[in-house]
Amino acid sequence: MPASKFSDEALRTAFDAGRPWRDIARDLGAGYSTVRQRAYQLGLRRPSSEPTGSKNTARNRSWEAKHPEKRRAHKAVESALVCGTLQKEPCRDCGATNVQAHHPDYSRPLLVVWLCAPCHAIEHVRLRHQE
């Protein structure tokens, strides 16, 4: 087993305190993957349903409950990208390649327009002014 530059006790203490993995890695001066791998070797695992410290978890769940159709559309796109039935295209407006899916109609979840973040924000401003 390779020697680590942090103590197992420090890792256990931070884990038991419920600290997020990225914070633990930063505090221990080690890489994220190194910390997670050592934690796995030590049997330190969090149940998947346990929050890992995200301040947005409750807000995300609240949004999902209020917008089930949007959530289904987002998950459909995510799944289609993983399966390969949908592929990202360059931004419709500027041609950038780092894009997000914009849903003009959430009832048709796989009909998306690919926009970069700045163009996506502009599109939403434009849509708000049309209402």
CA–CA separation, 52 vs 60, rounded Å? 14
pLDDT of 94-113, one tens digit each? 999 999 999 999 999 999 99
Q: In angstroms, how far is CA 122 from the centroid of its own chain?
A: 22
pLDDT band at 1 (very low <50, low <70, confident <90, very high): very low
pLDDT at 49: 56
pTM (2 d.p.):
0.57
pLDDT of 44-97, one tens digit each? 887 765 455 566 777 888 888 999 999 999 999 999 999 999 999 999 999 999
pLDDT at 104: 95
Question: Which string of DSSP letters, residue by residue, matches 27-52?
Answer: HHTS-HHHHHHHHHHTT----TTS--
- Which spans in 1-131 are helix H? 8-16, 21-28, 32-41, 57-66, 68-83, 117-130
pLDDT of 4-58, one tens digit each? 578 899 999 988 888 888 899 999 988 888 888 998 888 888 776 545 556 677 7
Under 8 Å CB-to-CB from 97, ≥6 apart: which residues?
88, 90, 91
